[in-house]
Amino acid sequence: MLGFKTFSTGGTISSMTIPAELAEFTLARRYKADRRGPVRWVWSHVTRHGWLVLILLVGAIGNAALAALVPVLTGQAFNDMLAVPARTRVLLPLALILGGSQIVRGILQFGRNFGAELLAQRIEREIRDELYLSLLGKSMTFHNIQPVGDTMARATNDVREINFMFSPGINLVVGSLTFLVMPFIFAPRYHPALLLTPILFSIAYFIALWQYLHSLTPVTNAVRDAFGVMNSRLAEALDGIETVKSASQEEAEVKRFNLNASSFRNAFVRQGDLEARFLPNLLLGIALAGGLLHALLLFRQGLLDTGGVVAYFGLLMMLDFPTFASTFAYTQVSSGIAGSRRVLELMNRENDLDQNRVGTSMDVKGQIEFRGVGFAYLDKEPILNDINFTVKPGQTVAIVGQTGAGKTSLVKLINRTYDASRGQVLVDGVNVRAWNLASLRQQISIIEQDIFLFSRSISENIAFGKPQATHAEIETAAKAAQAHDFILEFENGYDTVIGERGVTLSGGQRQRLALARAFLTDPRILVLDDSTSAIDSATEDLIQRAIANAAKGRTTLLITHRLSQIRWADLIIVLRKGRIAAIGNHEQLMQSSAAYRRIFSE
C-alpha cells in the first residue's frame, strides 16, 4: 500500500512521486485487515480475538461432550436395572453425576454463547470503525456516484448481518459440528459396526450442505443487493420530499417503492424456499430409523445389550441439533458473507485522489495558476478545456458565465475536490497534486450556495474548521460575517442547536454562518460560489463590506451573478461552454468582450 506512483501533467509524466495510498484522507487505523476477499477480511478481524475464539471452542466441545454423557449414563442405568439382581444402589450416584455434569454443561454453553456474542459485537464495532474511516477517505467523485441510501444500507444492515454471522451463525455451526462428532467418539465403545450410520449420515449431510450453500450464495447476495436498492430509492425520495410533494408525485413514488420492496420480498421468498427444501431434515429421519434398526439387529445377535441400544439411539439423537440448527446457521453465515462482500466492495472502491502525506506543507501565499487544464467527470464529455490563467496573491477574481459553463468545477480543482484530467493546477508554483492534501485544504475555504450545517449548536457550526477556537474568536468571526445580531435574537444565542442542514434558519442566515466559519479559519484562498444569492437587499451592503474586508490580504475567487461584486474584482474570467471566452478587468472587458457586455445587458 505504501508504493509510489507518478501522475500525468498535461500529457507528460512528472518525475515527482507521491504515495500510492488509495485514500483522499486517512486517519491512523486501529485495525489492519486483509481486504483481498470477504472471508479473508472477516478472518483477519477474528484473529485479533483469539481468546474469545478459544472460549467459544472450549464451550462448544465441553457442551457437546457432556450432552453425549446423558445417553451414555442412561444406557448404563438401563443395564443396572435389568441386571439380576438389579443394581439399584448405583442409580443415585449416576443421577448425581448426571445432574452435576449438566450444571457444568450449562456453564460451558453459557461460555460458548458469551464468546460468540462478544466476538460478534467486537467485530461489528471494528468493521463500523473501518468502514467509517474508509468513507471519510473517499473522494468527492466517489460520493457523487455512490447512492447515499445504498451506502447507509451497507453501513447498517450489511454490517449487522456480519454480526449475526457470528452470533448466532458461527456459534451454532461450531456447536452443531461438535454434536456431529460425538457419535463417532462414543458409538465404538458399544460396537465398531455402529459407526456405519454416523459415517453414511455425515457423508450425505455434507454433500447436501455443499449443494445447499452453493444454491444459497447467489440468493443471499440477491437479497442484500435488493435491500440496498430499496433503501437507496427510499433515501432518494425522502431527500427530495419537497420536490415530490410540490409535483404531487406521492402516489408514483409509492408505486416505485413497492416495486423495489417486491423485488426484495421475492429474493427473500426464494431464500425461504431453499431453506424449506433443506435435504438433511429427511436424512436425519432415515439415519435415526436405519441406526435403530442396525442396533436392534446387533442386539438380536447378542452383540449389543439393552443399555447399548438405548445409549446408541440417544447418541444418534444428537444429530438432531446439527440438522435443524444448520438450516438457520448456514443461512446466517451466507448472509454475513454476502454482507461482508458488499461492505468490502465499498471500501475497496478505487479512489481518484490521494492525500500525499509526504507532499508540500507550507504557508500558502495565494498565487493560483492554471496551465492547459481540462476536466471531465469519469471519461464523460469534457466540462473544462484548455484553461489558462494566473492569479496573483491577494487578488480578487470574479468567475462569470452561464449555468453549466464549468465555474464550480473550475474552483474545485484548486483544493483537489476533483483532480484535473489534463494540465496542471498550481498553488504558489507547486502542482496541487504535490501538496500535502490536508495542508492545502486547511488554507482554502469554499463557501457554496447550498450551505451544509450540522445539527449542532451555532458555535460548533462556526468552529467546525477550527474546533479549538475560543468563544471570543467565534463571536468576532460572526460579527465580521454580519451574523452576530441575528444569533443573539435566539433564546440560547450561540448555544442554539439548529436543525439538520440548518433547516430552522433562513437562506441568508445559513450563508452568513458559512461566511463566519470561513472567516474563523482565516484561509489564504477564499472561494465564494454564489454564496450571497440568498441574502436580501437590506443585508447585501453589509455582506459586501464583510466580503471586501475578508478579501484583504488573501486571494478571493467569486462565482457570482451580482454585478456589484463583479465590478470591483481585480480580474474577471468569462467562461463559455467550458472555455475562457474573455479575461481582464471590468473596463477592459466592457471594451473587448461582447460576451461580457451581454452579461450586463441582460
Is 187 a member of any domain?
yes
Is 318 a member of any domain?
yes
Least confident of 61-70, 293-302, 505-514, 530-539: 530-539
What's the pLDDT score for residue 352?
Answer: 62
Is 6 a member of any domain?
no
Q: Which of 316, 348, 380 delimits the end of a domain?
A: 348
Please answer whether residues 96 and 39 qualify as being in contact, where contact means their C-beta atoms are separated by less than 8 angstroms.
no
Is 421 a member of any domain?
yes
Q: Give residue 226's domain range.
A: 23-348
Q: Are residues 317 and 388 in the same domain?
A: no
Q: Are residues 150 and 49 in the same domain?
A: yes
Q: Which of 286, 316, 348 delimits the end of a domain?
A: 348
Q: Are residues 311 and 423 in the same domain?
A: no
What's the pLDDT score for residue 296?
Answer: 93
pLDDT band at 7 (very low <50, low <70, confident <90, very high): very low
Q: Are residues 375 and 414 in the same domain?
A: yes
pLDDT at 20 over 60: no
Q: Are residues 389 and 453 in the same domain?
A: yes
Higher pLDDT, residue 344 or 32: 344
Is 5 a member of any domain?
no
Q: Are residues 245 and 296 in the same domain?
A: yes
What's the pLDDT score for residue 111?
Answer: 92
Share of the chain above pLDDT 70, in %: 89
Average pLDDT score over residue span 566-572: 86
The pTM assigned to this predicted structure is 0.72
Q: Which of 348, 378, 393 delimits the end of a domain?
A: 348
Return d(Cα 189, Cα 307) in angstroms, integer: 12
pLDDT at 107 over 50: yes
Q: How many domains does the chain have?
A: 2
Please write the tens of the pLDDT for every residue from 140-170. 777 777 888 888 888 888 899 999 999 899 9
The mean of the pLDDT values for the chain is 84
Return d(Cα 318, Cα 178) in angstroms, integer: 10
What's the pLDDT score for residue 351?
Answer: 65
Please answer whether residues 495 and 474 qualify as being in contact, where contact means their C-beta atoms are separated by less than 8 angstroms.
no
Is 582 a member of any domain?
yes
What's the pLDDT score for residue 17?
Answer: 37
pLDDT at 139 over 80: no
Least confident of 2-6, 53-57, 185-189: 2-6
Please answer whether residues 212 and 330 qualify as being in contact, where contact means their C-beta atoms are separated by less than 8 angstroms.
yes
Q: Are residues 179 and 243 in the same domain?
A: yes
pLDDT band at 319 (very low <50, low <70, confident <90, very high): very high
Q: Are residues 407 and 333 in the same domain?
A: no
Is 16 a member of any domain?
no
What's the pLDDT score for residue 503?
Answer: 66
Q: Are residues 301 and 376 in the same domain?
A: no
Q: Are residues 194 and 334 in the same domain?
A: yes
Please write the tens of the pLDDT for every residue from 424-462. 999 999 999 899 888 888 888 888 877 778 888 899 988
What's the pLDDT score for residue 371?
Answer: 94
3-state helix, strand and coil shares in percent for the chain, rounded to the nearest 5: 60, 10, 25
Is 445 a member of any domain?
yes
What's the pLDDT score for residue 1?
Answer: 30
CATH of the domain at 281: 1.20.1560.10
Q: Are residues 238 and 387 in the same domain?
A: no
One-letter amino acid at 245 equals K
Please answer whether residues 76 and 186 qualify as being in contact, where contact means their C-beta atoms are separated by less than 8 angstroms.
no
Q: Are residues 408 and 493 in the same domain?
A: yes
CATH of the domain at 501: 3.40.50.300
What's the pLDDT score for residue 21?
Answer: 46
Higher pLDDT, residue 560 or 313: 313
What's the pLDDT score for residue 217?
Answer: 83
Long-range contacts of 15-18 (CB under 8 A, 24+ apart): 16/431, 16/434, 18/354, 18/356, 18/358, 18/359, 18/433, 18/434
What's the pLDDT score for residue 602?
Answer: 61
